Structure 1
Amino acid sequence: MKILVKASLFFSLLLSLVAQEKVAPTLADVKYGPHKRDLMNLWLVETDKPLGVLVHIHGGGWVGGDKANEQHPNVFQNHYHTISISYPLVSSGDIQPAMANSTARAIQFIRYKAKEWKIDPDRILLTGGSAGAASSMWLAAHDDMADPNSEDPIARQSTRVAGALAGGGQTTLDPFLIERRIGPETLKHGMLYKPFGGENIEELKKNWESKYKAFSNKYTALSHISKDDPPMFLTYKDAEVPARDPGHGIHHGMFGLMLKEKADKVGAKVYVQCKGHTPEIKQADFVNSILIKK
């Protein structure tokens, strides 16, 4: 009996490890721009027709983090491609707009390679958590940054996407608005000033109007969202105020609710899922509606 029990436990463990096995990229460290961190990994589905693509932008406060090097198999694996990108960071000696420029360039590069990689350029869905979510929402809300007169064929491509699936993302980095709507604990987080070259939060607030306001707002979704923007599905744990600590504050549900408030006013579609707030559509249905062609 003991041997049978041990064997049963062994095979259960083996099955769980197999279930957790990750998949290596089809293409790894593909260079998409001039920066040393302008790299992407791709998991491409073998297909005869163009498929949608889920583009993952990693988090880390624009200070750290890296692209995914392995992927968990999932139910959508045979229905759309997956790409994960890395980009410049504070830890690599950069500040904005380096992060924003690279993420926009990544979308242009994907569209430039769409035919070769059998990607449907009308079905690009951005996703990410924290800073990756902030970048996803910013890109989804921003007007097209294509330069039709550029000598660079990649720069001539559109930066527009079909939607964003964002988790715990920041829709504004305005310290005064954040303190008023979310609470002072959030201001202790370095994401508010480090990506903009600020010394600390006190210096940022002191020079907000003269130096940082336009700079910071330029890279947040709340400043750009308009009626013609694609839908966004935002997820957060809760929107309880005031924020308990910097980590709670910087990923606070009020960021999503503020974006939804403005979206409702201008006629854009933003869904927010967090404690006390249930969106009109399920997350899986949102993803399917964008990535999977009926």
Structure 2
Amino acid sequence: MKNVFTTLLLFSCLISAPSITAADERVKIIPDVVYGHKFGMALTFDVFQPEKPNGAGVLFMVSGGWYSRWTDPQNMLSWFKPLLDEGFTVFCVRHGSSPKFKIPEVVEDVRRSVRFIRLHAKDYGVDPSRLGVWGGSAGGHLSLVLGTTSDKGKPEAKDKVLQESDRVAAVAAYYPPTDLREFVDEKSPYYQRFPALQFDKELADDFSPLLQVTPDDPPTLLIHGDQDKLVPISHSENIMQQFKEKKVPVELLVIENAAHGFRGDDQTRASQAVVKWFQKHLAKQAD
């Protein structure tokens, strides 16, 4: 159990010890922006603004096993550097964490983060129509949930944040779980290992991106190792087929001989693909 949990959190561990360069020092960091509250606690994200912004924003889902941990923003710079170098503003989003909060509550948090950023887009120098989302493992799952189940907001809501849409314009997901129906079964080994899965199994369809694909979903990049034993590559293959059937732009990058979590050249290849994807789909539209 411990080994599996550690593996799922590998995505988060990869960002824990980066090196800082002189170029990184030119990035403006706005730490701990509060985008909501729950149970007396603040929901926060950090903003990373590049020296030469291109007007597009990318939300990074801080989530491994649907646990969301705080990390000193300075220690995230090398992880986001490929995007920052190309002018993307990055929002490092934390959600209400497992084990206290389950997936339905986590999803509401990340929806709110998109709405909040859209409402305050001008403050961060980004175009609200050019927001992408990216994450790995549980973060990849949340990215796909945002991509496949967005809404237009509630104009009648008293909270101005809730009046905003949570739609994103592009998605990138590393080794994402896309079908939770088996995971939320009490007999499943995942159910006990990951407390966020312990919610009403009748709601599993609602939080399974595989079952929510529609023709208006944003372009989606999937990246998966073919030796992933924790979240088998079939999760990405199956949702890719659904995207294709609905004629949604989609690509699947298979990292050969890679398991759950990328290192070295595999990580570099995946990161380059993410940057290229967002450059293609978040580029400024011609007037």
TM-score by length of 1: 0.73
Extract unaligned runs of 5+ from structure 2: 1-17, 257-271
State the Cα deviation string for residues 136-190 of structure 1 (Å, max 9, x = none). Answer: 0110111315111111111101100011111011111121899xxxxx9xx4334
Mapped pair 1:126 → 2:133: yes
Percentage identity across aligned positions?
A: 19
- The 2-side partners of 1:189 and 1:20 are apart by 43
Q: What's 2:58 paired with?
A: 54
Task: Give how far 1:283 is off.
Answer: 4.5
- The 2-side partners of 1:220 and 1:144 are apart by 16
- The 1-side partners of 2:203 and 2:153 are apart by 21
Extract unaligned runs of 5+ from structure 1: 1-15, 179-183, 199-210, 241-247
State the Cα deviation string for residues 46-87 of structure 1 (Å, max 9, x = none). Answer: 56x870011100221113534662311336435121110111
- The 1-side partners of 2:198 and 2:205 are apart by 14
Cα contact 1:166–1:234 (8 A) shared by 2: yes
Q: State the Cα RMSD in Å.
A: 3.1
Secondary structure, aligned partner of 1:259: helix
Task: Give how far 1:250 is off.
Answer: 3.2
- The 2-side partners of 1:42 and 1:284 are apart by 18
Cα contact 1:29–1:39 (8 A) shared by 2: yes
Using a 3 Å threshold, how does the CA distance of structure 1 residues 266 and 67 change in structure 2: closer, same or farther?
Answer: farther
Mapped pair 1:83 → 2:91: yes
- 1:127-276 correspondence runs (5 A): 127-175=134-182, 187-190=188-191, 194-197=195-198, 211-212=200-201, 214-238=202-226, 248-275=228-255
The equivalent position to 2:48 in structure 1, one of 43, 46, 56, is 43
- The 2-side partners of 1:169 and 1:19 are apart by 31
- The 2-side partners of 1:43 and 1:197 are apart by 34
Q: What's 2:7 paired with?
A: none
Q: What's 1:30 paired with?
A: 33
Q: What's 2:116 paired with?
A: 109
Secondary structure, aligned partner of 2:222: strand
- The 2-side partners of 1:251 and 1:21 are apart by 36
The equivalent position to 1:291 in structure 2, one of 269, 282, 285, is 282
Task: Give how far 1:282 is off.
Answer: 5.3
Task: Give how far 1:292 is off.
Answer: 3.5
Secondary structure, aligned partner of 1:38: strand
Secondary structure, aligned partner of 1:250: coil
Task: Give how far 1:275 is off.
Answer: 4.3
Using a 3 Å threshold, how does the CA distance of structure 1 residues 75 and 197 change in structure 2: closer, same or farther?
Answer: closer
Cα contact 1:58–1:67 (8 A) shared by 2: no
Using a 3 Å threshold, how does the CA distance of structure 1 residues 20 and 136 change in structure 2: closer, same or farther?
Answer: farther
Secondary structure, aligned partner of 1:71: helix
Q: What's 2:77 paired with?
A: 71
TM-score by length of 2: 0.75
Using a 3 Å threshold, how does the CA distance of structure 1 residues 292 and 266 change in structure 2: closer, same or farther?
Answer: closer
Secondary structure, aligned partner of 1:274: strand
